[in-house]
Amino acid sequence: MRKITNICCIGAGYVGGPTMAVVAKQCPDIKVTIVDLNEARIAAWNDPDVNNIPVYEPGLSEVVAEARGRNLFFSTDVDQAIAEAEMVFISVNTPTKTYGSGKGMGADLKWIELCARQIARVSTSDKIIVEKSTLPVRTAEAVRDILHNTGSGVKFQVLSNPEFLAEGTAVEDLLSPDRVLIGGDDSEEGQEAIAALVDVYANWIPRERILTTNVWSSELSKLVANAFLAQRISSINAISELCEKTEANINEVSRAIGTDSRIGPKFLKASVGFGGSCFQKDILNLVYISRSFGLQEVADYWEQVIIMNNHQRKRFALNIVKSLYNTVSGKKIAFLGWAFKKDTNDTRESAAIYVADELLNEQAFIQVYDPKVQTEQIYHDLEYLETRSVESNRNGVSVYQDPYEACDGAHAIAVLTEWDEFKNYDWQKIYAKMLKPAKIFDGRNVLDHKALREIGFQVNGIGV
Ligand SMILES: NC(=O)C1=CN([C@@H]2O[C@H](COP(=O)(O)OP(=O)(O)OC[C@H]3O[C@@H](n4cnc5c(N)ncnc54)[C@H](O)[C@@H]3O)[C@@H](O)[C@H]2O)C=CC1
Ligand SMILES: O=C(O)[C@H]1O[C@H](OP(=O)(O)OP(=O)(O)OC[C@H]2O[C@@H](n3ccc(=O)[nH]c3=O)[C@H](O)[C@@H]2O)[C@H](O)[C@@H](O)[C@@H]1O
């Protein structure tokens, strides 16, 4: 069996960067080169100050510091890295399509296809191609079709190896995953390719946690895993609304049902709605694929997870308006948190963006503080929605580097991300500087509501 000594990864994003940094750390004998077209991103990964790498993840800068320059390299020379590698991971973005057929639903595989064509063009030796990006079931077929028709005589094996890391815990998840999933062909060559990839992971992951399947099961399992996780959040969020009408408490309900070992305690935290680059995209993909096979009931079933999430975000925003006497026009609302979850600087699909959009429609002024998100990112997120002019977004939103300043003079505070530091603020000091009655809308149920009420705050949580 072929022992892999040279790996290339196309895409230096939130998945390619951390994943390959951990491979390099755990496999010092393998040269790992991560390539990207985005020069600024590669320059940031190569920044001599390792704290400036473009992805914030606890523990990641230490991993990069250990392996970078030893057997981990970041480069914009995509052709050369592909040509030299025995195994090429494709870890490029696969966003929801924004045009043409499948608009707003299906995955845009433009970048995947470009990668396949580039690999086909520059390869002069046989290679194993690994789909690391999340892809619709049967995408490997298209990749194969391009690679098998180059006429160059070079042989390719295509594997599916979806990534299950969660942002904020990426390094931990990569070092000790619940499982690694590898899908490949039944043929002898396919099985050899699977074995070569298993061998890479086996450097640090127990073999029994490395699952192998056919390519299609692997591709589909990734979408299904995300759909199941998101479905749990929408389920608990649906019940949170019912709790608010019945005086049941969602935290107590979560605990009560989560202790049933068949249900389990994880992913039962009610919130302002899930965000992140993948849950919505992957479920939309599942819905689109189901519909394209004429499976209406299957499609409708999963689509409801998204509908519920949109509803949760919207009702959080409208609840703020309602509580502020049906108008937030000209009122200051402080946002604590903009990232889609704690311990990441990623804001893609963050609930904060949609809540802000809704409140800006109501002519509120929003004062944002997030410990890791950059100011321009916040404006960019709002501009991406194209709801109003760039100028109106900038007039309506101010970004602060200090949480106390963000809350100064506010009518209300909305907690959009569950950053731990929020729990330890001097809430008495914040209260003193707010307009009264001072209101808090805790979209993550992270604050001590009893203590806040004792200070004088009017507190609204989710489902409590
Ligand atoms: N973000 C996450 O936590 C997870 C993401 N995924 C999946 O992994 C894939 C990548 O996601 P992210 O890393 O978050 O995306 P990202 O957008 O952070 O990174 C993708 C990178 O690929 C680069 N790229 C695109 N086309 C290229 C080309 N032809 N040549 C060289 N570079 C190219 C882009 O410039 C970008 O830097 C997606 O399919 C996503 O669904 C899977 C698990 C977790
Ligand atoms: O494919 C992906 O991109 C990844 O998507 C999720 O990871 P991620 O989106 O990074 O983070 P999660 O921890 O899953 O959180 C997603 C969203 O759900 C919210 N959430 C999570 C859990 C919960 O109980 N309640 C809740 O509202 C979070 O705040 C966040 O907005 C999955 O957990 C990963 O396994 C998967 O690899």
pLDDT values of the chain reduced to their tens digit, one per residue, 464 residues: 679 999 999 999 999 999 999 999 999 999 999 999 999 999 999 999 999 999 999 999 999 999 999 999 999 999 999 999 999 999 999 999 999 999 999 999 999 999 999 999 999 999 999 999 999 998 999 999 999 988 889 999 999 999 999 999 999 999 999 999 999 999 999 999 999 999 999 999 999 999 999 999 999 999 999 999 999 999 999 999 999 999 999 999 999 999 999 999 999 999 999 999 999 999 999 999 999 999 999 999 999 999 999 999 999 999 999 999 999 999 999 999 999 999 999 999 999 999 999 999 999 999 999 999 999 999 999 999 999 999 999 999 999 999 999 999 999 999 999 999 999 999 999 999 999 999 999 999 999 999 999 999 999 999 99
Is the domain of 47 the same as that of 190? yes
Note whether residue 443 is domain-resident: yes
Q: What residues does 262 pair with on adjacent strands?
A: none
Rounded to an integer, what distance in angstroms lies between the CA atom of residue 50 and that of residue 65?
6
Could you tell which of 255, 274, 445 is best to mutate to test the pocket of ligand 2, judged by most ligand atoms within 8 Å of the CB?
Answer: 274
* 68 CB near ligand 2 (under 6 Å): no
Alpha carbons within 13 angstroms on the beta-carbon side of residue 423 total 9
Domain termination residue (choose one: 205, 235, 258): 205
Is the domain of 279 the same as that of 357? yes
* 268 CB near ligand 2 (under 6 Å): yes
Note whether residue 74 is domain-resident: yes
- DSSP for 64-107, please give it: HHHHBTTTEEEES-HHHHHHH-SEEEE----PBP-SSTTTTTSB
Note whether residue 347 is domain-resident: yes
Say whether 459 counts as a known binding-site residue: no
Note whether residue 214 is domain-resident: no
Is the domain of 326 the same as that of 258? yes
pLDDT in tens, 3-54: 999 999 999 999 999 999 999 999 999 999 999 999 999 999 999 999 999 9
Report yes or no for ipTM above 0.85. Answer: yes
Note whether residue 211 is domain-resident: no
Q: Which residue has the tokens 């970078």?
A: 68
Is the domain of 183 the same as that of 277? no
**pLDDT at res. 1:** 61
For residue 90, the tally of other CB atoms under 10 A from its CB is: 26
Is the domain of 63 the same as that of 144? yes
Rounded to an integer, what distance in angstroms lies between the CA atom of residue 182 and that of residue 197?
8
Number of domains in the chain: 2
Note whether residue 212 is domain-resident: no
Buried b / exposed e over 359-371, threshold 16 CB at 10 Å, is bbebebbbbbbbb
Say whether 12 counts as a known binding-site residue: yes
Nearest CA owner, ligand 2 atom 6: 166
Is the domain of 191 the same as that of 228? no
Nearest CA owner, ligand 2 atom 21: 267
Where helices occur in 293-374 by DSSP H, the ranges are 296-323, 351-361
Rounded to an integer, what distance in angstroms lies between the CA atom of residue 302 and that of residue 284?
8
Domain termination residue (choose one: 154, 180, 205): 205
**pLDDT at res. 2:** 74
Is the domain of 314 the same as that of 167? no
Is 115 a residue of the active site? no
Domain termination residue (choose one: 156, 174, 205): 205
**pLDDT at res. 160:** 97
Note whether residue 215 is domain-resident: no
| Ligand 2 atom closest to residue 268's alpha carbon, by position in its atom list | 24
| Ligand 1 atom closest to residue 17's alpha carbon, by position in its atom list | 13
Could you tell which of 279, 310, 442 is best to mutate to test the pocket of ligand 2, judged by most ligand atoms within 8 Å of the CB?
Answer: 279
Range of the structural domain that residue 65 is part of:
6-205
- What are the distances in angstroms from CA 341 to CA 287, 329, 337, 372? 25, 28, 8, 11
Nearest CA owner, ligand 2 atom 20: 274
* 129 CB near ligand 2 (under 6 Å): no
Rounded to an integer, what distance in angstroms lies between the CA atom of residue 134 and that of residue 164?
10
* 112 CB near ligand 2 (under 6 Å): no
What is the CATH number for 231? 3.40.50.720
Is the domain of 62 the same as that of 168? yes
φ, ψ for residue 224, nearest 5 deg: -70, -40
* 167 CB near ligand 2 (under 6 Å): yes
Query: Whole-model pTM?
Result: 0.96
Is the domain of 150 the same as that of 230? no
Which ligand is nearest the CA of 272, by number?
A: 2
Is the domain of 24 the same as that of 108? yes
- Residues with Cβ within 8 Å of 229's Cβ and at least 6 positions away in sequence, in order, are 267, 279
Is the domain of 155 the same as that of 233? no
Note whether residue 210 is domain-resident: no
